[in-house]
Amino acid sequence: MNTNWTVKSIRDSVNGGSVTALSIVDEALRRIEEKDGEIGAFLEVFATDARKAAKEVDARHAKGEVDLPLAGVPIALKDNMLVMGHIASAGSKMLADYRASYTATVVTRLQAAGAIIIGRTNMDEFAFGSSTESSAFHVTKNPRDTSKVPGGTSGGSAAAVAAGMIPAALGSDTGGSIRQPSSLCGVVGMKPTYGRVSRYGLIADGSSLDQIGPIATTVEDVAIVLSIIEGKDSHDATSVVLDDLTSENVSSDLAGVRIGVPKEYFIDGMDEDVAARIHEAIETLKKGGAEIVNMSLPLAPYALPAFYIIQPAEASSNLARFDGMRYGNRGEGAIEESYRSARGAGLGAEAKRRIMLGTFILSAGYYDAFYKKAIAVRAAMKMEFDAALKKVDVIVGPVSPIAAWGIGEKMDDPVSMYLADVFTVSANILGIPGISVPCGTAHGLPVGLQILGKSFDDNRVLQVAAAFEALHNAS
């Protein structure tokens, strides 16, 4: 990895005065210009605003602000986060020309810390998908192999970081959408605990599942960005006052750390090379001093079916607001006809599928059998995980059962696409933190190790991730 293109090294150089924020932004723009034609990670680059913001950071430096935690660091946003005056389309034709009327809290916090918002990245429409192929705009390619998908739904953010265009990006994770593309592209991506980071200004997908988090090339960089964006925000009632703030000085000590390995995270049909990398990673953690505890989470296999009930139910409700009245293109005809035609013309296949699915699940006669059952399973799963996490500090396993697949391969088979999320959805169902850390390759493509922790024990997840990263890099 390019060691002088990390969040930490850029921040330290800008604060130290050896480079200007403007020269960093120019370098990021040059890299994007050079590489993004092939990759397609960005939907829009905010070149003018980024240069202007860089000059402001340089002016702050000149006035004595020499310890900005993200001084001059170029950061990209997934296209579902609002920056006032800029387009935020959520990867949808419905919002192709929608300009945000306010700025997301995460963006305000990044800017105050000296970060430069460099542009918006491609994503599956409204964050429905696992490959970024459901974007209404273009396909993003995996920088490790351009015939493969980058994963999704934050595929543009992961690809931009993996290609070395930018040191960090924000993604959002509703069922694995930060961790899975990070795994498939070979970068570090974290879904913090539900409630840790404000979602104000995030276009909602599944409101009880959504969380914003960082993607970067090192665990330390992820911790630095998380330490800035986290914390209570009066604009998001689900955000909480944190007792335990994220420290950018992540300990990488494994002594006394107990790591659970659930047998349910190694399933039939899983790629053998992926499974081998995960087993080696567990061995690495053991050699590093951690205690490995084999365990069973009998309800874990039910996380995915529960997710594909709860998520469409919530998303179909959230997407009701896209009716052509306040945003997007107005439909034709009288009011009912106008709603229908605006939604029919503005939404893509996967969005329509989730809306129909969610509408069915919530409809009279099916609500109890599907939605209510899924909520009950969610509660039962929570009890099971809470009990398991009393015995161990973290749980590890794969992020994805397979490495990156070919572009177009799964587009006609939704159930097979949904199965890509089989190991990631538990964290969203339970609200717990999870991270993907690179742990080698399968068939020449990156594999990510997933580390899950207790609610609000994000620091412990980062600690085990940092320890693994150090051991893996040294091996």
Partner 1 sequence: MDIDIKRLATLAKLQLTDEEMEMLARQLPDILAYVSKLQEVDTSGVDAKAYLTDAVNVLREDVITSSREERDAVIAAFPKQVGGAMEVPGVFAA
69-98 binders of partner 1 (CB under 8 A): 84-85, 98
In the complex, the smallest distance separating the C-beta of residue 157 from partner 1, rounded to whole angstroms, is 24
Cα–Cα distance for residue pair 132/80, rounded to 1 Å: 13
Binding piece for partner 1, criterion CB under 8 A, among 60-68, 260-268, 375-383, 439-447: 375-383
Give yes or no for residue 408 binding partner 1 (CB under 8 A). no
Give yes or no for a contact between 75 and 15, defined as CB atoms under 8 angstroms apart. Answer: no
| CA-based max dimension of the chain | 68
Assigned token pair, 368: 């109890």
Contacts of 471 (CB under 8 A, 6+ apart): 284, 285, 287, 288
* Min separation Cβ 382 and partner 1, Å: 5
Q: Restricting to residues 108-147, which ones interact with partner 1 according to CB under 8 A?
A: none
**Segment interacting with partner 1, rule: CB under 8 A, options 20-28, 31-39, 137-145, 342-350:** 342-350
Closer CB to partner 1, 5 or 194, in the complex:
194
Find the part of the chain contacting partner 1 (CB under 8 A) among 34-42, 139-147, 344-352, 436-444. Answer: 344-352
Residues 352-371 that bind partner 1 (CB under 8 A): 352-353, 355-357, 359-360, 363, 369-370
211-216 vs 168-173, strand pairing mode:
antiparallel
Q: Give the residue, chosen from 252, 280, 292, 339, that forms a contact with partner 1 under the rule CB under 8 A.
A: 339
Look up tokens 């009912």; give the residue: 336
Is 387 a binder of partner 1 (CB under 8 A)?
no
Subset of 448-467 contacting partner 1 (CB under 8 A): 455
The alpha helices in 186-290, defined as continuous H runs, are 219-229, 272-287
C-alpha dist (Å) from residue 373 to 39, 354, 377: 42, 18, 6
Binding string, 276-305, against partner 1, x = CB under 8 A?
Answer: -----------------------x-xx--x
CA-nearest of 170, 273, 160 to 229 is 170
What is the closest distance, in whole angstroms, from the C-beta atom of residue 335 to partner 1 in the complex? 4
| Binder of partner 1 out of 252, 341, 441, 459 (CB under 8 A) | 341
Which of 375, 388, 411, 470 forms a contact with partner 1 (CB under 8 A)?
375
Query: Pick from 14, 45, 257, 306: which binds partner 1 (CB under 8 A)?
Result: 306
Point out which span in 73-81, 197-205, 339-347, 402-410 binds partner 1 (CB under 8 A): 339-347
Applying the rule CB under 8 A, the residues between 176 and 195 that interact with partner 1 are 194-195
Cβ-proximal residues to 109 (8 Å cutoff; 6+ apart), any chain: 228, 229, 231
Starting from the edge strand earliest in sequence, which strands make up the sheet with 116-121, in order?
Answer: 42-45, 116-121, 74-78, 168-173, 211-216, 188-191, 434-442, 445-453, 394-398, 258-262, 291-295
Residue 321, CA atoms < 13 Å, CB-side half-sphere: 10
Binding to partner 1, residues 219-238 (CB under 8 A): 234, 237-238
> Nearer Cβ to partner 1, position 220 or 233?
233
Q: How far is the CB of 346 from partner 1 (least distance, A)?
A: 10
Based on the shown chain and the rule CB under 8 A, indicate whether residue 212 belongs to the binding site for partner 1.
no
Give the interface size with partner 1 as a residue count (CB under 8 A): 71
Q: Please report the sign of the dihedral spanned by the C-alpha atoms of residue 405, residue 169, residue 78, residue 139.
A: negative
Among 32, 50, 53, 374, binds partner 1 (CB under 8 A): 374
Residues 6+ apart with CB under 8 A from 134: 91, 124, 125, 128, 152, 153, 348, 349, 350, 351
Q: What's the start-to-end Cα distance of the chain, in Å?
A: 15
Q: Applying CB under 8 A, does 35 fall inside the site for partner 1?
A: no
Summarize the chain as % helix, strand, coil (round to 5): 45, 15, 40
Report the site for partner 1 in 317-336 (rule: CB under 8 A).
Answer: 320, 323-330, 333-336
